[in-house]
Copies of this chain bind each other. A is one copy, B any other.
Amino acid sequence: MIDVATASVESELERYFAASRLRAGDYGPHYVELWDQLEQASAGGKRARPALVLAAHNGLGGTDPAAATQLAIAFELLHTAFIIHDDVIDRDLVRRGSTNVLGAFAARGAALGADEEQAKTWGEAAALLAGDLALSQAHRIIAQLDIDPITRGRILDILDRAVFVSAAGELNDVTNTVAPHLLGIPDVLATLEQKTAVYSCEAPLQAGAVLAGASAADIACLGRFGRLIGIAFQLTDDMLGVFGDESKTGKSTVADLREGKITTLLAHARTTPEWPSIAPFIGKADLDPTEAAFVRETLTGCGSAAHTEQLARDHVALAKTELAASDLPGELRELLSTFADRAVNRIR
């Protein structure tokens, strides 16, 4: 049900990218390619953020489907901008198993005769610009919402908070890889909340609710619910990044270990006697499959895997408690409850 509602989002996005490509034609083939790549980057997602916008709007008696669709698209493009810029920061050439904007332009640069370093620099430039364009369009769509000024102003504030907090979270995340310090589990959870949960769940739900004219209590409840499930989803992603089935997730299960990505898995493992046996492999750029398998076994054996799974389940349970204690309409509660379950059901 949550998926069907996003059909209008798909067709509106398609129209937007077609129009942009047409317009880009005046500036040469590389710019057209940039828009093609931007569309592909956007097309790869699960449309979770649009689904949350529409669920909140429709579930709270909203009566402006056209504005809700636009709002849904704005949050999807915000997400597209953030993942593209995240890949620039990490210098990743691949996202979800496919070449990303950076990778596509790096390959294009190589085909034009550039050396590897130059081609990658070009790819980074293209990705940075693509992210700026998607970010700009997210802002523009909300600025253009044909709704009363007070509601639009409130949605603009939600967008502003989403951008402000995500940037803080991203900076903290990068800081950990530059100047590693022993992060406790609460620090890791705070970074997940800032970097992902606010813009991915809290903001889309609250924006949809504000558009529907929801009560302050409902809006606040959706914010708390959103942050909790946002964290749960991220915890599960971190589990899948080590223990997942690559053929299903399209995500490498060694990349996070090689990068030494700070997760609750590692924050927990550090507190166990087994830590010294795996510490040398965390952040090892050429970690091999045997070593990775040993790390996985140890993370399971020392209880870190179970701990992170439990953390995710706890966050889902807390999120459902918020729903149960709320005055949200029954149908919306049910829909969001199902959505929350997905956060943990993906693991096994």
Contact residues, A203-255 vs B (CB, 8 A): none
**Bitwise interface map of A from 283 to 325 toward B, beta carbon under 8 Å scored 1, else 0:** 0000000000000000000000000000000000000000000
Query: Smallest distance from the beta carbon of A91 to chain B beta carbons, Å?
Result: 8
CB-CB nearest in chain B for A81: B132
Given A28-B172, A125-B170, A172-B30, the answer on whether A178 and B109 have CB atoms closer than 8 Å is yes
A114 contacts B179, CB within 8 Å? yes
Does A75 count as interface, using CB distance less than 8 angstroms? no
**Residue among B122, B132, B135, B194 making CB contact with A178, cutoff 8 Å:** B122
Take A27-B194, A143-B156 as given contacts and tell me if A171 and B34 are in contact as well, using a CB distance cutoff of 8 Å. yes
Determine chain A's interface SS by DSSP, over half rule. helix
A178: chain B residues within 8 A (beta carbon): 109, 112, 114, 118-119, 121-122
Asked if A327 is at the interface (CB within 8 A of a chain B CB), the reply is no
Task: Pick the most buried of A124, A140, A168: most chain B CB atoms within 10 A of its CB.
Answer: A168
Give 1 or 0 for each of A115-130: 1 = CB within 8 Å of chain B CB: 0001101101110110
Is A189 part of the binding interface, using a Cβ–Cβ cutoff of 8 Å? no
* CB closest residue in chain B, given A137: B160
Judged by a CB distance under 8 angstroms, whether A113 is at the interface is yes
Q: Which of A30-59 contact B (CB under 8 A)?
A: 30-31, 34
Question: Is there an interface contact between A170 and B109, defined as CB atoms closer than 8 Å?
Answer: no
Q: How many copies does the complex hold?
A: 2
| A128: B residues at CB distance < 8 A | 85, 88-89, 128
Interface size on A, as a range, is 35 or more
Question: Which A1-41 residues have a C-beta within 8 angstroms of B?
Answer: 20, 23-24, 26-28, 30-31, 34
Residues of B within 8 A of A81 (CB): 132
Is the C-beta of A261 less than 8 angstroms from some C-beta in chain B? no
Contact of A140 among B124, B126, B160, B177 (CB under 8 A): B160
**What residues of B have a CB within 8 angstroms of the CB of A194 in the complex?**
27
Beta-carbon contact of B135 and A156 below 8 Å: no
The B-contacting residues of A in range 119-174, CB under 8 angstroms, are 119, 121-122, 124-126, 128-129, 131-133, 135-136, 139-140, 142-144, 152-153, 156, 159-160, 163-165, 167-172, 174
Which of B88, B112, B136 is A163 in contact with, Cβ under 8 Å? B136
A299 → B minimal CB distance (Å): 25
**Which of B119, B135, B144, B171 is close to A126, meaning CB atoms less than 8 Å apart?**
B171
Complex CA gap A114/B131 in Å reads 27
The CA-CA distance from A124 to B88 in the complex, in Å, is 9
Docked Cα-Cα span, A122 to B177, in Å, equals: 9
Contact A27 B168 (CB under 8 A): yes
Which interface residue of A20, A81, A121 has the most chain B CB atoms within 10 A? A121
Taking A27-B194, A143-B142 as contacts, is the C-beta distance between A167 and B124 under 8 angstroms?
no
Bound-state CA distance A152–B143 (Å) is 9
Residues of B within 8 A of A143 (CB): 139, 142-143, 152, 156
Residues in chain B near residue A175, CB distance under 8 A: 30, 122
- Do the beta carbons of A112 and B179 come within 8 Å of each other? yes
When A and B form their complex, which 8 residue pairs have the shortest distance between CB atoms, in order from nearest? Answer: A143-B143, A139-B139, A27-B168, A112-B179, A122-B178, A125-B174, A89-B125, A129-B167
